[in-house]
Structure 1
Amino acid sequence: MIYLLGGWQSDFSAHWSRQGLELADAFTQTVRSGLAATRLEPEEVECGHVGNFVGELFAGQGLLGGFFGQVDPAFDGLPTARHEAACASGSVALLAAAAELEAGRYELACVVGLEQMRNVPGQQAARNLGAAAWAGHEFTDARYLWPRAFSDLADEYERRHGLRYEHLMRIAELNFANAKRNPNAQTRQWSFTPESFTAHDEANPVVEGRTRKQDCGQVTDGSAVVFLATPRRAAEYAARRGLSLERLPRIRGWGHRSAPISYAAKVRASEGQPYVFPQVRRAIEDARTRAGLKDVSELHVVETHDCFAMTEYMAIDHLGLTAPGESWKAIEDGSIELKGRLPINPSGGLIGLGHPVGATGVRMALDAFKQVTGTAGDYQVEGARTCQTLNIGGSTTTTVSLVIGV
């Protein structure tokens, strides 16, 4: 059993290069702010893990574990590592830190996720992010690779089950609306017209294939940090602060699956099966089984990957909220709304809150912590005690799901 002691998230609307910030500056701010938020001292941290996807391409910087030593003299000598799994990098960093604690190597870990993405032109950003696809082998005719990939997924859903664009736009509309409640959301001050959530070529132009502007998650500079502890260390932490150990959130279950990097290979392999992405479904079920949950009805809230509206549409049926191919039912009946049967992305998700790729998994875990401790503020889901996260890298090449609860 691994406990979460809390953490901190940056303002995802920030533009670091315009503020004169480098990755190292953001890293330092994140760790120091996280320590302050949890009232931990640097000397208490025994290992450090970093989730980051393409620091080398956007910022010319690798070896990000070395930034811990820049934060505070107490971190000089700290064992650290960086983890990469595309958009699931942050969740893989969390899994690695939890495994070290479970192995008895250490008792308190600091996990940072961060990505700088707004310091290059959009076309260059698209090329950089293409490193999560099978380079030179797929989507080579696309100007914007990932909008094309998830356009193809929309085509696949339409072929197998039927698909209506208004359902995708309702997902986007909900995530933007939730983001207005989140003081760290990149889009919290954005405004839209009714045409913004239709197939209107000016208000919602095509980006690639059938993917339009409002389908897309954001290109974001951002970071998040959480602190993980063993039961013994968490008990000490709780006692020192007059907290109940039973009220500290813990990672109750986890799932981690990988599939071939080729999108086409994944789709071919699932032909005739209930789910388009069986490994996504298995990661979700693995996490619930380890948490001792029977099914989706025992969840109170979900933070899921919505790099595109189509990604969340896929997640809805893979989570089991509907039968395969029937995600539209949970959209139409309001199940995924803030006061619905199972609220999805009260934070605003990747579409509304933002998507600094390497930070997203850590941010999801932090939002799960907030929800189950009742500290999510204006986007709190009333009575939430169990949250499932779903973090996806590439075209579901890597999938990580966590069940976090009290």
Structure 2
Amino acid sequence: MTYILGGWQSDFSDNWARRGVDMAHVFSETIEAGLDATKLEPKDVDTGHVGNFVGELFAGQGLLGGFFGLVHPDFDGLPTARHEAACASGSVAILAATAELEAGRYDLACVLGVEQMRNVPGRQAAENLGAAAWAGHEFADADYVWPRAFSDLTEEYDRRYGIDARHLRRIAEINFANGKRNPNAQSRGWAFTPESFTDDDVANPVVEGRMRKMDCGQVTDGASVIFLASPERAAQYAKERGIALDSLPRITGWGHRSAPISYRRKVEASADDAYVFPQVKRAADEARARAGVTLDQVDLVELHDCFTTTEYMAIEHLGIAAPGEAWKAIEDGSIEPGGRIPVNPSGGLIGCGHPVGATGVRMTLDAFKQVTGTAGDYQVEGARTVQTLNIGGSTTTTVSLVVQA
């Protein structure tokens, strides 16, 4: 069991190049703000982990664990590592940190997710992000790889079950509305018209195939950090601050599965399965099983909506709706604030933003905020148990965590 002491998230509307700063600067800003939020000192941290996908392609920068040493002299000598699993990089970094704590190697870990993506033109950004597809083998004819991939998923759902585009548009509308309540959301100040969430080719133009502008997660600069502790170190932290150990949230369950990098191979392998991506379901189910909770005990979900179809799929694979019936949870309001199981009260990747390597850490930080009642205007009342679902590539890597008060 691992405790979460707290953390911090950057403003996802920030454009770092426009501000004249680089990843190293924001790395330091984020760590310093996280230390301040948790009342920790650099000397308290035993190990550091970074989630990042394509620092080399966007910023010409790798070896990001070395940035810790730039933050404070006390981090000189800190054992660090960088983790890459496309959009699931942040969650994989968390898993690595929890494994170290559970093995007894260290007692307090700093996990930071970071990605700079707004410093290049949109088409170049799309090409960079295409590194998570099977390069040279799939989607070579697409202008935008990932909108094309999830357009293909929409087609696959249509073949298996039928799908109504109005339900995808409603997912987008909900997530953008949620983002307006999040002070760190990239889209919080954006304006929309009634036509924005329709098939209007001006207000909501086609990007690739069946994916329109509002169906897409955002290209975002962002960073998020959390601090994790062993039970012994968490008890010490609580005692020093005069708070109850039980007031600190815990990561009580985890699921981690991978599938072949080929989108087509995954879909062909599941042709006779009720679920398009069985490994996604497996990871989600295993996280709850390890936590000892059922879906009925989960108060809300922070899930991977890189596209509206991804959320549509995830609603079913998490068990919120039966296979082919995600539309029911959309129509009856189950996934909305105040619904049976609110989805992405933060706004998710569509409303809040998607700095790829930071997303898994941001999801976990939002889970921490929800179960400690500190999520502000997007707080889900009475939240005690949150499940995350973070996906890399075309569900090539899936990580799910359960965070409980």
- TM-score, with length taken from structure 1: 0.99
State the shift of 1:358 in Å.
0.1
Aligned to 2:120: 120
Measured in 1, the distance between the counterparts of 2:347 and 2:242 equals 32
Q: Please list the CA deviations of residues 76-130 of structure 1 after superposition, one character each: whole Å capped at 9, or x if unmatched.
A: 0000000000000000000000000000000000000000000000000000000
Separation in 2, partners of 1:350, 1:198: 20
Query: How big is the shift at 1:241?
Result: 1.1
Amino acid at match of 1:210: R
For 1:32 and 1:247, the matched residues in 2 are separated by 23
2:71 counterpart letter in structure 1: V
Shift of 1:274: 1.0
- Correspondence 1:195-210 to 2 at 5 A: 195-210=195-210
- After the TM superposition, which residues 276-315 of structure 1 pair with which residues of structure 2 at under 5 Å, given as runs? 276-293=276-293, 295-315=294-314
- Point out where structure 2 has 5 or more consecutive residues left out of the alignment: none
Q: CA deviation at 1:355?
A: 0.1
Following superposition, the deviation at residue 240 of structure 1 comes to: 1.1
Q: Structure 2 CA distance, aligned partners of 1:85 and 1:243?
A: 36
Matched, 1:260 2:260: yes
Give the SS at the match of 1:17: helix
In the TM superposition, what is the alpha-carbon distance from 1:203 to its structure 2 partner? 0.6
Matches of 2:57 and 2:321, distance apart in 1? 39
Give 1:272 shift. 1.2
1:263 maps to amino acid: Y
| Aligned residue identity for 1:108 | L
Q: Deviation string for 1:295-336 (max 9, x for gaps)?
A: 311100100000001100000010101111100000000000
Partner of 2:381: 382
Once residues 349 and 220 of structure 1 are traced to their aligned partners in structure 2, the CA distance between those partners, rounded to angstroms, is 12
Q: Provide the identity percentage.
A: 74
Which residue identity is paired with 2:399? V
Q: Distance in 1 between matches of 2:237 and 2:337?
A: 32
Deviation at 1:41, TM superposition (A): 0.4
1:335 is aligned to: 334
Deviations, residues 211-233 of structure 1 (Å, cap 9, x unaligned):
10000000000000000000000
Q: How many Å separate the matches in 2 of 1:313 and 1:238?
A: 40
SS of aligned partner of 1:274: coil
Aligned-partner Cα distance in 1 for 2:141–2:4: 44
Aligned to 1:91: 91
Deviations 1:160-194 (A, max 9, x none): 00100110011000000000000000000001111
What is residue 25 of structure 1 aligned with on the other side?
A: 25
1:263-305: per-residue Cα shift (whole Å, max 9, x none)?
Answer: 0000000011110000000000110110001x31110010000
Q: Which residue of structure 1 lines up, in the alignment, with residue 245 of structure 2?
A: 245
Write the letter of the residue equivalent to 2:174.
Answer: L
User: In 1, Cα distance between the equivalents of 2:191 and 2:272?
Assistant: 42
For 1:21 and 1:238, the matched residues in 2 are separated by 36
Using the TM superposition, give the Cα deviation of residue 247 of structure 1 relative to its aligned residue in structure 2, in angstroms. Answer: 1.6
Counterpart amino acid of residue 272 in structure 1:
D
Residue of structure 2 equivalent to 1:167: 167
Q: Aligned pair count?
A: 405
Shift of 1:242: 1.5
C-alpha deviations, 1:340-382, integer Å up to 9, x for none?
0000000000000000000000000000000000000000000
Map of 2:186 onto structure 1: 186
> Match of 1:18, SS?
helix
Q: Distance in 2 between matches of 1:332 and 1:184?
A: 28
Q: Give the whole-Å Cα distance in 1 for the aligned partners of 2:65 and 2:110.
A: 11
User: Which residue does 1:365 correspond to in 2?
Assistant: 364
Structure 2: distance between partners of 1:136 and 1:284: 31
> In 2, Cα distance between the equivalents of 1:203 and 1:251?
41
Letter in 1 for 2:57: L
Q: Provide the residue aligned with 1:101 in structure 2.
A: 101
3-state DSSP class of the match of 2:398? strand
Give the aligned CA root-mean-square deviation in angstroms. Answer: 0.4
| C-alpha distance in 2 between matches for 1:163 and 1:240 | 54
Paired position in structure 2 for 1:214: 214
1:319 is the counterpart of 2:318: yes
Return the alpha-carbon distance in structure 2 between the equivalents of residues 47 and 319 of structure 1: 32
How many angstroms apart in 2 are the aligned matches of 1:325 and 1:92? 29
Q: Deviations over 1:196-253 (max 9, x none)?
A: 1001111100000111000000000000000000000000111111111112100010
Which residue of the partner structure matches residue 275 of structure 1?
275
Equivalent residues in 2 for 1:9-158, closer than 5 Å: 9-158=9-158
